[in-house]
Amino acid sequence: MKIKQWEDKNLAQFSYAVLSDCEKKIILIDPSRNPQPYLDYAKEHDATIVGIIETHPHADFVSSHAELRQLTGATIYTHSLVGASYEHQDFDEGATIELGKIKLTSIHAPGHSPDGISILLEHDGKQKAVFTGDTLFIGDCGRPDLREGAGNLQSKREDLAKQMYHSLREKLATLKDDVLVYPAHGAGTLCGKNLSKESSSTIGQEKQTNWSLQEATEEEFVQNLLADQPFIPAYFPFNVEVNRKGAAPLQESISKITVNENPSEELLNNLESSLWIVDIRKEADFKEGHLPHSINLMIDGKFETWLGSIINPEEKFYLAGESKEQLQKAIERAAAIGYEAAVEGAFVINGGPVKEAEIDVNMFRNNLDAYTVVDVRNTSEVKEKKIFSNSISIPLAEIRERVNEIPTDKPVVIHCAGGYRSAAASSLVHSKLDGKISVFDLSEEVKKF
């Protein structure tokens, strides 16, 4: 028997293969959008993918389960409460799949979602591992507030938090202490709030160190779980529905997008003015010159998260980048959250008519009251520590809709914690205010304050 773990670092997402050596059969768990790594793994081991288990309809990424079924004929297993539109087999509490000496058993573990399952793996009759989906993470548990407006079965966060309390204690903590824990996410995901950087653990280790498994009343647990959860990106409910229906094949979908390496001046001058241009180049290049109505979402960062937070699901947009290779990479990453169909066009650019002035940091430091300072970090970060006492807090995920809250009687300085989010926010605000006032990005200089 072999267990293979893959990590999508951009989305802090784990997927898995369980391989039966004796039968040369593979069961996949929570595959990401690109099916190729799983097909390659099967070929490498001269094995057949016979099943795909979805622990729940994911909110933060699009799964390739439908495409993999089309390519391999494998059966998709998921809980009946999902209300899946694709062909599948219900995998409810107690249902099993057997491959040689391996037995996989469904554990209904609602809390993150009402239809969530974990999968217990037994080998030779002994408990070996549990794939916990978004129920139990390393150091944390799944957030319960993503299914109030999405999915076949919608639930209030308070109700799911109570279910999480019981799922953790009655379904998972009762497994043997040496059972390996393989979660669907690691540190950096927005599906939890305080995950460890580790990629696996054991039930015993989590019982000792994970706050969500410590002794607490249901009321105390619910209060702690609901406090300070991160924001919910706009694309999350959209992804739940895409995953319930099954996504289009990846290559077929992205092949519809043509990357224009030498766009004419006429083309660039006649772009649809109401559509945002998502410019993925480095901040310095962007500020030296870009096209009107552009947002600087650099490819080297949490590109998917911020694309899906600022651009609404199914809202058309353009992609601009420094090379064909960079743009193709961005298209694939947009596809990871199901946004490839919204790309109206992609083109290589080098400069543009719109420029952004660089801030004079010394002047700013010595005249703080002469500027309107906007803090675009998340609410929890601001709550922990405010960098400038006179700043206005508008998280990046909300700034597109809240630009009118920014006073325009003084130059505007925008900051985050390290520069990525402020680059995006300052470009957006600069475009929205359209020259009414100077907009500066404090960028990495914020670290000196």
| pLDDT tens by residue, the chain, 449 residues | 999 999 999 999 999 999 999 999 999 999 999 999 999 999 999 999 999 999 999 999 999 999 999 999 999 999 999 999 999 999 999 999 999 999 999 999 999 999 999 999 999 999 999 999 999 999 999 999 888 777 677 779 999 999 999 999 999 999 999 999 999 999 888 878 778 888 999 999 999 999 999 999 999 999 999 998 888 999 999 999 999 999 999 999 999 999 999 999 999 999 999 999 999 999 999 999 999 999 999 999 899 999 999 999 999 999 999 999 999 999 999 999 999 999 999 999 999 999 998 999 999 999 999 999 999 999 989 999 999 999 999 999 999 999 999 999 999 999 999 999 999 999 999 999 988 899 999 999 999 99
Does any domain span residue 354?
no
Tokens coding 284: 């310095």
Other CB atoms within 10 A of residue 350 CB: 10
Residue with tokens 């799911």: 160
In this structure, the answer to whether residues 188 and 320 fall within a common structural domain is no
Instruction: Flag whether 356 is in a domain.
Output: no
Kindly state whether residues 43 and 174 are assigned to the same domain. Answer: yes
Placement of tokens 């959008």 in the chain: 33
* Domain shared by 212 and 269, yes or no: no
* 166 vs 220: CA distance, rounded Å: 13
Residue linked to tokens 């000792």? 208
Same domain, 192 and 339: no
- Extended beta strands in 21-173, E state: 25-29, 48-53, 75-78, 89-90, 96-99, 102-108, 117-123, 126-133
Q: In what order do the strands lie in the sheet with 259-260?
A: 259-260, 343-348, 317-321, 276-279, 294-296
Whether the Cβ atoms of residue 21 and residue 47 lie closer than 8 Å to each other: no
**Buried b vs exposed e over 119-133: b needs ≥16 C-beta within 10 Å?**
bbbbbeeebbbbbbb
Residue 155 sits in the same domain as residue 55: yes
**123 vs 141: CA distance, rounded Å:** 26
**CATH classification at residue 374:** 3.40.250.10
**Residue 355 in domain:** no
CA atoms within 13 A on the CB side of 144: 26
Q: Please report how many Cα atoms fall inside a 13 Å half-sphere around the Cα of residue 120, on the Cβ side.
A: 23
Domain boundary among 319, 348, 377: 348
Q: What is the pLDDT of residue 270?
A: 93
Quote the CA–CA distance of 121 and 199 in Å, as a whole number.
Answer: 17
Range(s) of the domain holding residue 338: 249-348
Residues 193 and 265 in one domain: no
Same domain for 334 and 195, yes or no, is no
Rounded alpha-carbon distances, angstroms, from residue 355 to 155, 351, 400:
47, 9, 20
Q: What are residue 4's DSSP bridge partners?
A: 17
Query: Within a 13 Å sphere around the CA of 151, how many CA atoms are in the beta-carbon half?
Result: 23
Residue 65 per-residue DSSP state: H
Residues 368 and 335 in one domain: no
Does residue 297 sit in helix, strand or coil? coil
Helix (H) or strand (E) holding 391: none
Q: Are residues 208 and 257 in the same domain?
A: no
pLDDT at position 47 is: 98
Cα 169 to the center of its chain, rounded Å: 27
Signed CA dihedral, 303, 305, 309, 315: sign only:
positive
Q: What is the pTM of this model?
A: 0.94
C-beta separation of 377 from 416 below 8 A: yes
Point out which residues pair with 201 in neighbouring strands. Answer: 181
What total of structural domains would you count in the chain? Answer: 3
Give the number of C-alpha atoms closer than 13 A to the C-alpha of residue 313, restricted to the C-beta side: 16
What is Dmax (Cα atoms) for the chain? 73
Decide if 111 contacts 142 (C-beta within 8 A). Answer: yes
End of a domain among 318, 348, 378? 348
322: Cα separation from own chain's centroid: 25
Determine, yes or no, domain membership for 218: yes
> Residue ranges of the alpha helices (H) in 271-411?
283-288, 303-310, 324-335, 361-366, 379-384, 396-402
Contact of 14 with 201, CB cutoff 8 Å: no
